[in-house]
Structures are given as structure tokens and as C-alpha cells.
Structure 1
Amino acid sequence: MANFDFDQAEGLRRMLAGPRPRIVTFLSATPQDDKGAMLVNLGASLARAGNDVLLLDAGAGANGVAARLGVAGGASLLDVARQRCALNEVVHQVPQGFGVATMAPRGAAAPQADEARRLAKTFDVLVKQSGIVIVDADVDDDGGLPLPAMGSAEIVVQVSNSATSIKAAYCLIKRLNHEFGRRPFGILVTGASETEAKVVYDNMAQAASRYLALNLTSMGSVPADEYLHRAARLGRAVVDAFPLAGASVAFRELAGRFARSAGPALHSTGRSNHFSA
């Protein structure tokens, strides 16, 4: 029999706590330029839909989303953790409508234990001040992510329809499974038609279920579109520069899906067989 007093108290605690911050960690088995274009356009689409969006560049490469948007090289979260600057100095608002921050300077040595804890706390504070936090991340040599919170957040793997990308995405999921244990992952297929993307997702979902006992969730797809490149050359998001382009339609639908799925969508107990572009 349900304990009504307990349920009431728990419900009150949740109401007072307010909505949980939304963190989505993006990993990719596509070229860095493809990943950067996807993140910028997804961020812009979410922002245009009225969401408070922050993109955090936590990748190891020199060409992350911050560099793509021309805001690399400034103060980082690691600088805040080292008490060299204030948190509000690390977030840059970009014309695409969202904020961008960098976790650490490129080439910076890995933080020591105490410093890593301060960095994790700094990230937690930043997240609480934001709506949706999109993390541009890479997996390290041991299969881990830059901060523990990124591993416990929603994780989405970007993949194309090439055999090389599909193999790399599956290997990436296998490493994550070894590091974090059994948990669901989102799959986003880019540079492919809806039909091609469905085949990619279905094959990956079947393999993950059979060999890893993992649930994959389709996050949709974005088609190859020359307007993406034209918008990038203009320094704009495709949804702003070319709102009727196929990629713009896909990103608006993708943004709506991300905004509607409030965390538990990627943590369902059953395998999702649904795919939509």
C-alpha cells in the first residue's frame, strides 16, 4: 500500500527543488567539422525555440566548438577553479543566440585530484545557472569523460552512414559501456536521408542489444545539405540563414525532440524501436 504522507513529502521536495538542469554530452564518430556544425545548429535551433542554451567545449582537440565560433583562447572553467577569474567571465554570448564556454585551455595538463574536484564543482554551479547544457566532449584513452557529471548525463553519439563511422560509433559505445556500465545511449545520424539513417540506427540498435545488452534510442537524423555549408561560410546557423532548407527543418524537429525529452527519455527501461527524422 502506498505511503501517502511520504509521497506528499517527496512531491513537495521536488517542487521546491525546481526543475533539474539538463546536460547532454555529445560524442561523435564523424569528422570534427561535422560535429561542430551539428552542435552550432542544434544550439541555435534550441535557442530560437525559447530555450536557455549553453555549449561547453570540453573536447581535447584544437578545433572544438569554441574555436569554430571564434571564442576560444579566453578564460575557462579551469581558470575559475584555480580562482583566476569569475564564472561570469567564461561565458560568451554568440550571434547564434546561445552562450559558449570552454572547460580548459587547449593543451593544458590534466588537473590534479584537488583541482579536478574544484573543476567539477565549478561545472555544477555553471549548470545550475543554465537551461540546457550541451557538452562537446571526447572520450579519453581509458574510456572516460572529462568530468563525472558528463558521464551520468544523457549521452548522444553522432554517426554518419559510412561504414567507417558506424564501426567507430559502435566501438565508442562499447568503450563507454565498459567504463560506465549498462545504460542507454542516444544515436543521432547526420549526413544521411531518413531512410539511410533508419537503417544505420536499426543495425546499431540490434548489435548493441545482442552483443552488449544495451538500449539505444533514436534521436533522429539530419540530411546532407549544401545550405549547411553556405550558412557556415556566412557565420550563421542554417535555421537563421536558410529557414526553408531541409537541414533547417530537421534541426527544428531535432530541437523540439530534445526540448520535449526531459532527461528520462534516454533512461527508459525498454529498447526503443521508434525512429523519426
Structure 2
Amino acid sequence: MANFDFDQAEGLRRMLAGPKPRIVTFLSATPHDDKGAMLVNLGASLAHAGSDVLLVDASERGQGIARRLGIDGAPSLLSVARQECALNQVIHQAPQGFGVLSMLHGARYDADDARRMAKSFDMLVKQSGIVMVDGELADDDSFPLPVMAASEIVVQVSTSAASITNAYTLIKRLSQQYGRRPFGILVTNASETEAKVVYDNMATAASRYLAVQLTSMGSVPADEHLHRAARLGRSVVDAFPLAGASVAFRRLAGRFALPGMPQLGRTGGNTQLGA
């Protein structure tokens, strides 16, 4: 009876706590514009599907999503850490349907700043459904906040040889810094067939030479509608809902929003492209 009471109480606590927020850190072996377009359209697709989405620009060089959306001059999470403004003053609502904030604006910070930023970030995460971090590795292969290293990590790659090499190098650096763990692979500017070739080759090499398991997160085709939507200041799923890229982003959003999706920071299920 005691065990039953304990299990019942534990189950009640979990129900009251609600679902745990998702944190996904995106790294890219593609140009900044390609990464920005992917984040905006995936964030918009998730928001259209009913998810509460927050995009966090953690770029230390000031070339991330905040710059693309024109808020790179606004107060950042570092400003909150230094008690220069309140937490609610750093979140901006993008017309595409998600919240966005900058973590650093390229400013230098010390250990005390990082500790305070981590506390503020934890508060933001508790208020959000899916947190998408526009991340990049520092020269010493670190992240601004430890939670980014512990989150799910997805690497964006294209079909070019240079991009594939850079993506593999990113995975190798991360593995050497943080130990063996799974990573997601998202292939952009590629057909499903091309993306499968890229993923299969990378997965084989990572398994053989790094003992690292990769998970396919899907692909997005090259599509002129992406550029047209960007010029209009809109997401492709909103401006051109029948475009090939829109179909792909809706599929990606459905997979990222699934509660049962493999948690890349913990386990390494293998999901096939286009599934």
C-alpha cells in the first residue's frame, strides 16, 4: 500500500508539473543567411502548429538571428544579468509568431555574468514550450551557458563538400569537449534523396571514427519561395503555404513538436529521413 501511495503521489506531481520544456541548440555548417532562414521558418512553422516558441540568439559574434530580425540593438539577456533591465524587456514578439531575444549581442562577459545569465535563462525556459537556440562554439569549443551543451544539439548541413566537412568537424569538436553523445542532422537546400546520401555518409563516418550516433531530423529543399517570403518579411509557410519548402517545414515542425521525439541530449534513436 505504501508503494502504491508513493507512486500515486509521484504521478500526481508529474501531472501538475506539466511537460518539460524542450531546449534545442542549433549549430550550422552553412552560411549565416541559410541558418537564419531555417530558424525563422522552423520557428514560424512550430508557432503555426500551436507550439509556444522562443528563439534565443546565443551568437558571440553578433551575426545570429537577432540581427536578421532587426533586434540586435535591443537589450540582451546579459543586460538582465547586469541588472540593467527586466527580463520581460528582452523578449520581442516577431511577426512570424514566436518570441526572440539576444543573449549577448557580441559583448564580453565574465563568470559572474554567465552565472546570472544562466539563472535568467532557466526562468525563460520555464515560461516556454520549445526553446530554439541559435548557437555557435567559442574558440575554446565552449558554449556561453552549460545548459546549451546539455540540450539537444542539431547540426545544419548542406550538400556541399565544404559544408559536410565543417559539420563533421563540429561534431568531432563537440565530442572531444563534452564526451560521446548523439547529435541531430538537418540537411537544407537538398532533395530528400540528396539529403539521405549526406546523412548516411556522415552517420557512417561518425559511428566508425568517433563512436558517435547521429539522428536524421529531416531535410528542406532549395526553394525560391524562401527568398520571396524573406523579402516580404514573412515565413514561407505563411506567404506560400503550398511551396515545397513549406511542406518540408511543416513536416519538421511536426517532428520537433512530438513528445516522443528522441531526446538528443540523452538518448540516440535513429530516425530516417522523410519518415
Same fold (TM over 0.5): yes
SS at match of 2:264: helix
2:184 is paired with a residue whose SS is strand
Structure 2 length normalisation: TM-score? 0.94
Query: How do 1:118-267 and structure 2 match up within 5 A?
Result: 118-262=116-260, 264-266=262-264
Cα drift, residue 61 of structure 1? 2.8
SS in 2 for 1:70: coil
Provide structure 1 residue ranges, at least 5 long, that are not aligned to the other structure: none
The equivalent of 1:29 in structure 2 is: 29
CA contact (8 A) 1:154 1:263 kept: no
Write the distance in 2 (CA, Å) between the matches of 1:125 and 1:271: 29
Q: Structure 2 unaligned runs (5+)?
A: none
**Corresponding residue SS for 1:266:** coil
Moved more, 157-166 or 261-270: 261-270
For residues 18-167 of structure 1, the aligned pairs below 5 Å read: 18-106=18-106, 108-109=107-108, 111-167=109-165
Structure 2 letter corresponding to 1:35: K
CA distance in structure 2 between the partners assigned to 1:136 and 1:270 by the alignment: 22
Aligned CA distance change for structure 1 residues 77 and 273 (closer, same or farther; 3 Å): closer
Partner SS for 2:163: helix
The alignment's C-alpha RMSD in Å is 1.6
Tell me the matched-pair count. 273
Aligned partner letter, 1:233: R
The AA in structure 2 aligned to 1:162 is S
Task: Tell me the equivalent position of 1:12.
Answer: 12
**Contact preservation (8 Å) 1:218, 1:276:** no
Is contact 1:22–1:262 with CA below 8 Å preserved after alignment?
A: no
Structure 1 residue 72: deviation in Å? Answer: 1.4
Q: CA deviation at 1:62?
A: 3.0
Give distance in 2, aligned partners of 1:29 and 1:47: 25
CA contact (8 A) 1:78 1:103 kept: yes
SS at match of 1:23: strand
Q: Give the CA deviation at 1:63.
A: 2.6
Deviations 1:172-192 (A, max 9, x none): 000011111111100000000
Conservation of the 8 A alpha-carbon contact between 2:182 and 2:215 = yes
Distance change (3 Å), C-alpha of 1:5 and 1:125: same
Deviations 1:10-58 (A, max 9, x none): 4333223322111110000000000000000000000000111111111
Distance 1:146 1:276 in 2: 33
Percent identity, please: 73
Shift in CA distance, 34/271, structure 1 to aligned 2, threshold 3 Å: same
The whole-number CA distance in structure 1 between the counterparts of 2:209 and 2:57 is 32
- TM-score normalised by L of structure 1: 0.94
Measured in 1, the distance between the counterparts of 2:271 and 2:124 equals: 35
Write out per-residue CA displacement over residues 225-250 of structure 1, whole angstroms, 9 at most, x where no aligned residue: 01111111111111111111000000
